[in-house]
Structure 1
Amino acid sequence: MSPSKAETRRPARLVDRIVHTLGPWGMFLKGFVKHPVMVGSIIPSSDTLINHMLSKVDWDKVDLFVEYGPGVGTFCRPVLERLRGDAALIAIDTNPDFIDYLKRDIADSRFHPVLGSAADVEAIIRAHGFDHADQILSGLPFSTLPPGVGPAIAAATHRALRPGGTFLVYQFRKRARDFLEPHFGQIDDGFEWWNAPPCYLFWATRTGSDSEDQA
C-alpha cells in the first residue's frame, strides 16, 4: 500500500523544523544531506580557516570577487567586510536552497548570488558587466566531483581570472593540486589544522607565462 501524501510530507516538515531551529547550521546540514558530492563537508569552515585563506588577498586591487559553492555564506560575510564599497561579490551555487537562503539573509548591494555552475563562470561574470575576476574562491570538493567537472572548472577559472588574479582553494585532500597544475604556473600552498576536518590551502595565480586554456 503506497503512503498517503500526508505521510510523505511529515519527514519534509520535520527537516524544515530542524533547519529553522538550527539556523545557518541547519541549512548547511540540509544542503549536505541533499548534495553531499557538491557540498563536501557537514560542518561550515572555521573563522581561523577563513582568515588564513583570505590573508593573501590585496583588497585594494579587487573589483570582482567570485565564490564557488558559498553554502550559507560562511565566507561571503567576511569577504564583504573586506571588500571595497564599489566592488562586487558573485556567489555561484548549484543548490537553489542555498541561493534562496543567501538572497534572504544577506542584504548588500555588492552581493550577487547566482544559481548556476562554476564551469560557467565566464558567462556569469560577463552577465554582471565584468570582463574578468580578480579573485575566485572555491571549497568545492574537486576529487569527488563527477568525471570531467573538476578539470572543466579549473580551466574556466583560469580563463576567467585577470593576469595576476588568484584562485583560492581549500580542500580536505591534497589531490586538488592536480587539477590546478595544468593551468597555473604559480601555486602556493598551506595547511590549516584549526578546522574540522583540517584543510589543505592553495593560492593559484594566473601568470603571464601560463598557457592559454581553450574554451
Structure 2
Amino acid sequence: MDDWTTSHDRVLAQRNAGGWMFLLEATRDLRTTGAVAPSGRALARRLTDPLHGHGPRPLDVLEAGAGTGSVTRTLVSRLSPGSNLDIVEANPRFAARLRSLVGARPHPDDGTVRVSVHHALVEQFDTDRRYDAIVSGLPFANFTPGQVETIMERYLQLLRPGGTLTYFAYRGTRLARTLTAGRSDTHRHREVEETLAGYQRRYATGCWTVWRNLPPAKVWQLSRPAHCPARTPARPVTAGAPR
C-alpha cells in the first residue's frame, strides 16, 4: 500500500504524526531544526510554484532539509511523470521517516516520480546530476555566514542555467534575536542576512510573504542565469549544521 496516499483519513494521520515528530526534534535541538512546526500548505505551495514555469516535461528536482515531508508531498504532487526528486536530509530520524514515504506512486496510471532520500549535509552531497529546481528548507538563520555561503554556492553549482532556487526565512527573527539572544548571536544573524542579501541582489526573481504559516515566512526565488559560474567561497568554512 502506498504511503503517499490520497486517502483523506490517512493524509491527516500522516500530517499529525509528522507534526509531533517535528516538535520532538525541535525539543532535541531547535537550533538545527529551525522551527517548532512543519511548513504549512500555503508555504509549501509557494515554495514549489516555480515548477509550473518549467512546463509539463519531466524535471530533476532537489529538496534540501525536507524534515518530515510536509513540502515533499506538495513537490511530488506537482511533478510530471518521469521526474526525479532527490531529497537530502541531515537529521537521521527525519531521513528514516522520509524513506518510509518514498514508495508512493502519485501518477499510478501514467508513470512514476522517482524519489530518492539521501542522509547527508547538502554541501557534502555527491552527485553528477544538475537540477531544474531546488527547494531549500534549511534554517539559514541558525547557521554561520560561512556555512550559508558554502550552501548557496553548492546550490548554484547544482542548478542548471535557468534553474530556480526557492528558500524561506521566518519573519521577525532579527527582532526576536535582538530581544532574546546575546550580542554575538545577534551579530551572527545580521551577517547571515547580509550574506543572503548579496545572493538576492544578484539572482532574485521574486519574493513573497506567506502569512498563512506558523510563523509567517518570506519566500525568495532565485534563478541561475545562463553562463553564470558559481563562485568559490571567499572565506574558510566548516560543514553546515544538520537540520
Query: TM-score w.r.t. structure 2 length?
Result: 0.70
**Given that residues 184 and 204 in structure 1 are in contact (C-alpha distance below 8 angstroms), is that contact kept between their aligned partners in structure 2?**
no
d(CA) in 1 for partners of 2:64 and 2:164? 14
Aligned to 1:111: 115
**Larger RCO (CA within 8 A; separation ≥ 6):** 2
Tell me the CA shift for residue 210 of structure 1.
Answer: 3.7
SS in 2 for 1:79: helix
Structure 1 segments, 4+ long, off by >4 Å, are 173-177
Report what 2:11 is aligned to.
none
1:65 aligns to 2:69 (yes or no): no
Of the three residues 145, 150, 160, the one matched with 1:162 is: 160
Match of 2:218 in 1: 200
Structure 1 stretch displaced more, 28-37 or 90-99: 28-37
Structure 1 distance, partners of 2:162, 2:201, is 11
- The alignment covers a number of residue pairs equal to 189
CA distance in 2, matches of 1:161, 1:115: 20
1:167/1:205 contact within 8 Å kept = yes
Instruction: Name the CA shift for 1:153/1:103 in 2 (closer, same or farther; >3 Å).
Output: same
Scaled by the length of structure 1, the TM-score of the pair is 0.78
Q: What is the DSSP-based 3-state SS (H/G/I as helix, E as strand, rest coil) of the residue aligned with 1:78?
A: helix
Q: Does the alignment pair 1:48 with 2:42?
A: yes
Deviations 1:64-101 (A, max 9, x none): 11111101100111111111221111111111001111
Provide closer, same or farther for how the CA distance between residues 211 and 183 of structure 1 changes in structure 2, counting only shifts above 3 A.
farther
Q: State the secondary structure of the residue aligned to 2:35.
A: coil
Report the counterpart of residue 141 of structure 1 in structure 2: 139
Query: Match of 1:202, SS?
Result: strand
Q: How far apart, in 2, do the equivalents of 1:180 and 1:114 lie?
A: 29
TM-superposed deviation, 1:176: 4.7
1:198 and 1:138, CA in 2 relative to 1: closer, same or farther beyond 3 A? same
Change in 2 beyond 3 A, CA 1:184/1:167 = farther
Task: Supply the distance in 2 between the matched residues of 1:118 and 1:53 (Cα, whole angstroms).
Answer: 18
Q: Name the % identity.
A: 22
Q: SS where residue 113 of structure 1 aligns?
A: strand
Residue 136 of structure 1: CA displacement? 0.7
- What are structure 2's unaligned runs of at least 5 residues? 1-13, 105-112, 173-191, 234-243
Moved more, 29-38 or 68-77: 29-38
Q: Does the CA contact (< 8 Å) of 1:49 and 1:195 recur in 2?
A: yes
1:120 matched to 2:110 = no
- C-alpha distance in 1 between matches for 2:35 and 2:230: 32
State the distance in 1 between where 2:156 and 2:84 align: 19
Unaligned 5+ runs, structure 1: 1-19
Alignment of 1:177-192 (within 5 A): 178-179=195-196, 181-182=198-199, 185-187=202-204, 188-192=206-210
Tell me the CA shift for residue 186 of structure 1: 2.7
Q: CA deviation at 1:208?
A: 2.6
- Structure 2 distance, partners of 1:165, 1:47, is 23
Counterparts of 1:213 and 1:23 in 2: how far apart (Å)?
41
